[in-house]
């Protein structure tokens, strides 16, 4: 992929968002969602802009033909603009899923989920970056995708992101741990929000809930996602490395033993994280079903630095071999 189209599109998003942010007295991220929607609709939707801004926007939009950009170019340009906006103010748990992680999850989804047509859910969809990275890596598949997110600005960005990349995504702006009115899906991907879930009454409805105090939201997300997955479906979670050793992990272990098979744990390179305690892994689960057998051995991999081509090739060969032995 050439870097030039990404830069060109980023510049358009950035300049127009900056102009609208000042004039609409909103944050950069809100303005970015507005300008993205304008570009997608091919018209300026805000009626409270000055004539000068209106004219400038018209000129800048006329220089961009979305159809000339690939989905990945659009995703990357929008992602760069979101990253810039997030530097202004964002809580750590709202951060976008990094590209390299999204691409590797996309690769895993491609390997594990064999159906030609399937339903894919991201229950903490955020800006939609992870979901669209994964979608862009599934070629010739017919995927119905769904996302749920509590933050109304992030979900607006996810909506605009999906429109710009022409992905059909059904989005729900809600607390995912409240009842979720969606039919079961074949696969789940999720960069889990890590921390305590404040709503103890709601948490009490989950098998996994802590017997006293707040329950970990990331544990509840695993249960809720499993509840919404078809028997035999796959789940891919980005988890904190220490998740299975925490003081609440007893309930998590019980839940996992009862409902799913661990297919694998892929530890991401420590160099990707600011410190060891922030490091993460990808947990791959399959929901139990009468015809589903557990793998002979779970796939346990430490990913090397993604820039180390040789080491990465060795790992991909190991993963292929694991598939031959466990999934054929």
- Interface with ligand SAM (CB under 6 A), residue from 154, 266, 299, 303: 154
What is the 8-class DSSP label of residue 258?
A: H
Question: Between residues 129 and 263, which has the closer beta carbon with respect to ligand SAM?
Answer: 129
Question: Between residues 236 and 322, which has the closer beta carbon with respect to ligand SAM?
Answer: 236
Q: Minimum distance between the CB of residue 94 and ligand SAM, rounded to whole angstroms?
A: 5
Q: Minimum distance between the CB of residue 107 and ligand SAM, rounded to whole angstroms?
A: 16
Closest C-alpha among 206, 211, 178, 176 to residue 193? 176
Residue 197, classed as helix, strand or coil, is strand
For residues 264 and 104, give the distance between their C-alpha atoms in angstroms, rounded to a whole number: 14
Question: Between residues 19 and 160, which has the closer beta carbon with respect to ligand SAM?
Answer: 160
Question: Between residues 106 and 126, which has the closer beta carbon with respect to ligand SAM?
Answer: 126
Question: Between residues 194 and 299, which has the closer beta carbon with respect to ligand SAM?
Answer: 194
Residues from 87 through 126 that contact ligand SAM (CB under 6 A)? 93-97, 124, 126
Site string for ligand SAM, 46-85 (x = CB under 6 A): ----------------------------------------
Residue 47, classed as helix, strand or coil, is coil
- Interface with ligand SAM (CB under 6 A), residue from 26, 80, 150, 272: 150
On whether the CB atoms of residues 123 and 180 are closer than 8 A, the answer is yes
On whether the CB atoms of residues 229 and 184 are closer than 8 A, the answer is yes
Give the binding range for ligand SAM (CB under 6 A) out of 106-114, 170-178, 248-256, 277-285.
Answer: 170-178
Question: Between residues 171 and 252, which has the closer beta carbon with respect to ligand SAM?
Answer: 171
Closest C-alpha among 305, 297, 304 to residue 324? 297
Q: Which residues contact 288 (CB under 8 A, 6 or more apart)?
A: 231, 259, 260, 261
Question: Between residues 61 and 128, which has the closer beta carbon with respect to ligand SAM?
Answer: 128
For residues 248 and 250, give the distance between their C-alpha atoms in angstroms, rounded to a whole number: 6
Residues from 172 through 211 that contact ligand SAM (CB under 6 A)? 175-177, 191, 193
CA 112 to chain centre: 17
Question: Between residues 106 and 193, which has the closer beta carbon with respect to ligand SAM?
Answer: 193
Site for ligand SAM contains 134 (CB under 6 A):
no
For residues 185 and 226, give the distance between their C-alpha atoms in angstroms, rounded to a whole number: 10
For residues 245 and 114, give the distance between their C-alpha atoms in angstroms, rounded to a whole number: 32
**Which own/partner pairs from 257-260 qualify as long-range (CB within 8 Å, at least 24 positions apart)?**
258/207, 259/226, 259/287, 259/288, 260/226, 260/235, 260/285, 260/286, 260/287, 260/288
Give the binding range for ligand SAM (CB under 6 A) out of 13-21, 148-156, 257-265, 310-318.
Answer: 148-156
- Interface with ligand SAM (CB under 6 A), residue from 14, 16, 129, 224: 129
- Interface with ligand SAM (CB under 6 A), residue from 37, 72, 73, 149: 149
Q: Minimum distance between the CB of residue 66 and ligand SAM, rounded to whole angstroms?
A: 21
Tell me the residue number closest to ligand SAM, measured at CB.
Answer: 126
A 10 A CB-CB count for 2 gives: 9
Residues that bind ligand SAM (CB under 6 A): 93-97, 124, 126-127, 129-130, 148-151, 154, 175-177, 191, 193, 217
């Amino acid at each position: 992929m050439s870097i030039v189209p990404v830069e060109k599109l980023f510049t358009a998003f950035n300049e127009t968002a900056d102009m609208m942010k000042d004039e609409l007295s909103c944050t950069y991220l809100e303005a970015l969602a507005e300008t993205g929607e304008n570009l997608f609709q091919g018209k300026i939707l805000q009626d409270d802009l000055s004539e000068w801004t209106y004219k400038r926007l018209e000129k800048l939009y006329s220089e961009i033909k979305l159809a000339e950009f690939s989905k990945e170019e659009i995703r990357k340009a929008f992602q760069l603009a979101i990253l810039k906006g997030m530097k202004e103010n964002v809580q750590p748990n709202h951060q976008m899923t990094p590209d390299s992680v999204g691409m590797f999850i996309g690769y895993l989804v491609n390997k594990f989920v064999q159906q030609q047509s399937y339903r894919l859910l991201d229950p903490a969809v955020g800006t939609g970056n992870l979901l669209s990275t994964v979608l862009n890596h599934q070629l010739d598949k017919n995927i119905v995708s769904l996302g749920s997110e509590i933050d109304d600005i992030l979900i607006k960005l996810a909506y605009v992101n999906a429109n710009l990349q022409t992905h059909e995504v059904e989005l729900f702006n809600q607390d995912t741990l409240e009842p979720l009115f969606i039919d079961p899906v074949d696969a789940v991907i999720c960069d889990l929000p890590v921390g305590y879930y404040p709503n103890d009454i709601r948490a009490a409805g989950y098998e996994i809930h802590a017997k006293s105090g707040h329950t970990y939201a990331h544990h509840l997300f695993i249960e809720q996602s499993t509840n919404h997955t078809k028997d035999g479906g796959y789940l891919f979670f980005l988890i904190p490395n220490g998740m299975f050793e925490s003081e609440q992990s007893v309930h998590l272990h019980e839940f996992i033993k009862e409902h799913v098979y661990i297919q694998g744990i892929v530890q991401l390179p420590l160099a990707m994280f600011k410190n060891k305690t922030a490091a993460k892994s990808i947990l791959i689960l399959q929901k139990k079903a009468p015809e589903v057998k557990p793998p002979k051995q779970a796939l346990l991999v430490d990913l090397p630095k993604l820039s180390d081509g040789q080491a990465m090739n060795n790992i991909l060969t190991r993963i292929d071999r694991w598939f031959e032995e466990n999934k054929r």
